[in-house]
Amino acid sequence: MVPGVMQEHSQPEALSLYDRLLARGWRMTAQRRAVSRALDGEHLHLTADEVFARAQALLPEVSLATIYNTLNDLVAMGELREIAAARGPARYDPNMAPHHHLMCVDCGAIRDVDLAPADLDLRPEPGHGFELLAVDVTLRGRCPACADDA
Amino acid sequence: MVPGVMQEHSQPEALSLYDRLLARGWRMTAQRRAVSRALDGEHLHLTADEVFARAQALLPEVSLATIYNTLNDLVAMGELREIAAARGPARYDPNMAPHHHLMCVDCGAIRDVDLAPADLDLRPEPGHGFELLAVDVTLRGRCPACADDA
DNA sequence: ATATTTGCAAAGTGTTTGCACGTAA
DNA sequence: TTACGTGCAAACACTTTGCAAATAT
């Protein structure tokens, strides 16, 4: 695969994070390449530490501070989103397509859920004068594995 | 108003947090009274520090550690909930009736929203085998004040 | 009387920052 | 060449914890 070359017929969303960053002309470094590759994949909801571990596997000298810097930059650029669901360490999701999350209250496992956002966005009522920008939905429950244990 | 005496015709939700705690036979101390009174009111979404400030106004010797202990106890008891929306310091909501939140992306102000939970709960589909327990909805937008500034 | 709660201060997480050095463009 | 990214270590914000003294029941 040739980085930076967009195929005419592919959906833009199909590009990897790394390719999207190149396409944007983002100043590329070994560290940023390691981070963006660490975030490659579907249904990923990694913490900064997990991204760090994956990035280190690709580039052992990378530092945690750089992981944080890069994650923050990506979020500010709109190429990554911070998941609202979790209380502890922040979790990051490279899938910018609209979707929501289902989180296990016992083990913290997160799955993607493709609820039609229309279910909620259609309601102009609850605005209270707010200009509505986004709707975050987090479903909470017990995953099959934890349900068995209980 | 007589604490601990439940009126036959009032909805149980109408009791103040303090009264609910008494009714439950919770071991009451000056500190816990100060905290539960600090949380009295509608549409409150206080941080631990804010609860601390309000509790100090009622009982100057109260400590922040006790605020945290008490808030955690109340959450564990199901008498208080931690709002998922916020990233920084945790925010606590004494209103246990089902409702959601609308948060200003600029100033962080939070308002309650009474979306019918049925809008989402009706969908058995996205369970992926999970036993669904709750649905958190956070609407994000710009509040009237911040919209004017921008 | 005694099991529980409190306060303090210290430790623990998770994240950010200042600054000298390194490097992509 | 130089504006920008990186690494380190220290600082930071928030929360939890261990233990001795205080207290509700």
pLDDT recorded at residue B18:
96
Residues in chain B: 150
Question: What is the spatial distance, in angstroms and rounded to an integer, between the CA atom of B62 and the C1' atom of D23?
Answer: 14
CA distance B106 to chain A (A): 11
The residue assigned the tokens 């509790």 is B55
Model confidence, pTM: 0.86
Q: What is the pLDDT of residue B23?
A: 95
Output the 3-class SS for B89-100: CCEEECCCCCCE
Cβ contact A130–B104 (<8 Å): yes
Helix axes B48-58, B30-38, angle to 10 degrees: 120
Can you name the residues that pair with A142 across neighbouring β-strands? B131
| pLDDT for position A119 | 54
CB pair distance less than 8 Å for B102 and A128: yes
In Å, how far from its chain's centre is CA B114? 14
pLDDT(A124) > 80: no
DSSP label at A7? P
Segments of B19-62 assigned E as strands: 46-47
The region of weakest confidence among A42-51, B67-76, B98-107 is: B98-107
**What is the predicted pLDDT for the residue at B122?**
46
Q: Is the CB of B32 under 7 A from strand C?
A: yes
Q: Which two tokens stand for residue B140?
A: 């994000």
How far is CA A138 from each of CA A110, B11, B32, B71, B120, rounded to the nearest angstrom? 10, 29, 31, 23, 11
Instruction: Give the per-residue pLDDT at A7.
Output: 40
Mean pLDDT of chain B: 85
Record: contact A102-B134, CB cut-off 8 A: no
- Residue pLDDT, tens place only, B99-117: 989 999 988 999 998 866 5
